[in-house]
C-alpha cells in the first residue's frame, strides 16, 4: 500500500476546490482498509473515505489526516430465483457501471439511478435516489469495517435508518463505518407505471409506451444530460441542495401564495418541494455569485466558474439559502458532505 503526501484535494473532487490532504492512499481490498485505518489511528490521524469525489466538498485548509480512496472492485450474483437476483458489489465500483450491468441483465430496481456519478459504496451513505427510486428500495445489507469494534460487520437495511437523502452513515454514526461492499436484491419484472413525473413526461413527449429497464435508463440519461452539466467539463457536484421537505400545515400557506409550486407527497403529512424551483423563483437561476454559477438549466446545481476556494462556494451557498428563506420561509440544505 502506497501512502502519498500533500495531495491537492481539488484534483479528487468534482467541484475542483479545496486544500491539500496530508496523506492519501488507495485501498483495493477490505484488508487494506483495516491496515490503512489502523496505521492512521496509531498516529492519531483523522480518516476520511473518498469515493468518486462527486458528493464531497473540500475546504481551503485541506485535511490534516489520511484520505482513503475506496477502490474495492467486485460484482457477483449471490442468489437467484424466479422473480429476483441478488448481487454483491464492491464499494469501489463505479455506480453507473453497476447500473448498466444490472440493466444488461434485465434487472429492475436501480435503472432510474443511471448516470449518477460516484461509487457503489457511497450510495447508501446519502441514500442515493433519482426519478422515484432510491438505494433503500433494493439494498438488502452491506458489509462495513466498524472502526469502533475494529471488525467487519454486516448491517441490514433496517440498521441503516434510511430516510430522504439520509442514513446513519451521515448522521448518528458518521465516520464509524467504512463500507466495503453492498448487496442489492433486484427484480426480474419489467418496470411498471406510474413513473416519476419527469420520466412520464419524457415518455409522453417521445411517444414511448413499452417500458423496459433499458428504456428507463436511456430516458434518464437523456434527461440528466440535458439538465446537468458534465463535471469533467464544468466543475460541479451535481445536486448541491437537497429538495426541501415541508409539513402539511406549511403547505396550504405556501400553495396559497404560490399556486404553481410543485410538490410531491411523501406520506406522513410531509411533502417534497424541488429546491431548484425555489431557487429559480427566488430569481437566482443563471446568476453568478462569488464565482459560482447557478445552473441555468437546473438551479439546484452550482457550477464552479471562477471560484478560487471553498470560501467562495460557502458565500454563494449562504446567499442562496438566505434568499430562498426570505422569500418562502423554507430552509434548504446542502447535500454534499465536507472534508
The pLDDT tens digits of the residues spanning 27-60 come to 999 999 999 999 999 999 999 999 999 999 999 9
Same domain, 176 and 85: yes
Residue 43 neighbours by CB under 8 Å, 6+ apart: none
Cell of 124: 447508501
Given 42, 70, 98, the domain boundary residue is 70
Domain residues for the domain of 116 are 75-187
Residues making up the chain, counted from first to last = 339
Residue carrying the nine cell digits 439494498: 139
Q: How many domains does the chain have?
A: 3
CA atoms within 13 A on the CB side of 16: 15
Residue 179 neighbours by CB under 8 Å, 6+ apart: 70, 91, 121, 122, 124, 125, 142, 143, 144, 169
Report DSSP letters for 246-279, one per residue: EEHHHHHHHHHH-TT---EEEETTEEEE-HHHHH
Residue 292 neighbours by CB under 8 Å, 6+ apart: 302, 303, 304, 305, 307, 312, 313, 316, 317
| Cα radius of gyration rounded to whole Å, the chain | 20
Same domain, 91 and 130: yes
Cell of 315: 458565500
Cell of 211: 417500458
What CATH number corresponds to the domain at position 44?
Answer: 3.30.43.10
Task: Kindly state whether residue 231 falls inside one of the protein's structural domains.
Answer: no
Task: Kindly state whether residue 202 falls inside one of the protein's structural domains.
Answer: no
Same domain, 47 and 98: no
Same domain, 326 and 306: yes
Say if pTM beats, i.e. exceeds, 0.75: yes
Same domain, 53 and 107: no
Cell of 332: 434548504
User: What confidence tens digit (pLDDT) does each residue in 206-240 have?
Assistant: 999 999 999 999 999 999 999 889 898 999 998 99
User: What confidence tens digit (pLDDT) does each residue in 100-110 have?
Assistant: 999 999 999 99
Same domain, 281 and 315: yes
Kindly report the number of other CB atoms within 10 A of residue 97's CB atom.
13
Same domain, 101 and 180: yes
Task: Kindly state whether residue 213 falls inside one of the protein's structural domains.
Answer: no
Residues designated as active site:
165, 239, 335
Same domain, 99 and 65: no
Task: Kindly state whether residue 217 falls inside one of the protein's structural domains.
Answer: no
User: What confidence tens digit (pLDDT) does each residue in 251-269 have?
Assistant: 888 988 999 999 888 888 8
Q: How far apart are CA 336 and CA 216, in angstroms?
A: 26
Report DSSP letters for 195-230, one per residue: PPHHHHHHHHHTT-----HHHHHHHHHHHHHHHS--
Question: Under a CB-based contact definition with an 8 Å cutoff, are residues 72 and 144 in contact?
Answer: no
Cell of 2: 502506497
Given 169, 187, 205, the domain boundary residue is 187
Question: Under a CB-based contact definition with an 8 Å cutoff, are residues 35 and 145 in contact?
Answer: no
What CATH number corresponds to the domain at position 135?
Answer: 3.30.465.10
As a whole number, mean pLDDT of residues 192-198 equals 90
Same domain, 80 and 120: yes
Same domain, 8 and 102: no
Q: How far apart are CA 237 and CA 86, in angstroms?
A: 30
Task: Kindly state whether residue 309 falls inside one of the protein's structural domains.
Answer: yes
Q: What does the pLDDT read at residue 326?
A: 95
Amino acid at each position: 500500500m502506497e501512502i502519498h503526501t500533500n495531495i491537492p484535494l481539488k484534483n479528487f473532487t468534482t467541484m475542483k476546490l479545496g486544500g491539500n490532504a496530508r496523506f492519501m492512499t488507495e485501498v483495493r481490498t477490505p484488508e487494506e482498509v483495516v491496515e490503512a485505518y489502523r496505521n492512521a489511528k496509531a498516529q492519531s490521524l483523522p480518516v476520511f473515505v473518498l469515493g468518486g469525489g462527486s458528493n464531497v466538498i473540500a475546504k481551503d485548509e485541506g485535511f490534516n489526516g489520511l484520505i482513503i480512496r475506496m477502490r474495492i472492485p467486485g460484482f457477483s450474483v449471490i442468489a437467484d430465483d424466479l422473480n429476483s437476483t441478488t448481487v454483491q458489489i464492491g464499494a469501489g465500483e463505479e455506480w453507473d457501471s453497476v447500473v448498466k450491468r444490472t440493466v444488461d441483465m434485465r434487472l429492475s430496481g436501480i435503472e432510474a439511478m443511471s448516470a449518477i456519478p460516484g461509487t457503489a459504496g457511497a450510495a447508501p451513505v446519502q441514500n442515493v435516489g433519482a426519478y422515484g427510486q432510491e438505494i433503500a428500495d433494493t439494498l438488502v445489507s452491506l458489509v462495513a469495517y466498524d472502526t469502533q469494534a475494529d471488525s467487519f460487520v454486516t448491517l441490514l437495511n433496517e440498521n441503516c435508518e434510511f430516510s430522504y437523502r439520509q442514513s446513519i452513515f451521515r448522521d448518528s454514526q458518521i465516520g464509524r463505518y467504512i463500507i466495503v461492499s453492498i448487496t442489492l436484491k433486484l427484480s426480474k419484472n419489467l418496470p411498471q407505471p406510474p413513473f416519476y413525473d419527469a420520466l412520464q413526461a419524457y415518455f409522453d413527449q417521445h411517444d414511448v409506451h413499452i417500458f423496459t429497464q433499458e428504456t428507463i435508463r436511456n430516458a434518464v440519461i437523456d434527461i440528466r444530460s440535458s439538465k446537468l452539466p458534465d463535471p469533467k467539463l464544468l466543475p460541479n457536484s451535481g445536486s448541491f441542495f437537497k429538495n426541501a421537505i415541508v409539513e402539511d400545515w406549511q403547505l396550504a400557506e405556501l400553495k396559497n401564495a404560490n399556486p404553481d409550486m410543485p410538490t410531491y407527497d411523501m406520506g406522513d403529512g410531509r411533502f417534497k418541494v424541488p429546491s431548484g424551483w425555489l431557487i429559480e423563483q427566488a430569481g437566482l437561476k443563471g446568476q453568478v455569485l462569488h464565482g459560482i454559477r447557478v445552473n441555468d438549466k437546473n438551479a439546484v446545481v452550482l457550477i464552479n466558474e471562477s471560484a478560487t476556494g471553498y470560501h467562495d462556494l460557502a458565500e454563494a451557498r449562504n446567499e442562496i439559502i438566505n434568499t430562498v428563506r426570505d422569500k418562502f420561509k423554507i430552509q434548504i440544505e446542502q447535500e454534499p458532505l465536507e472534508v
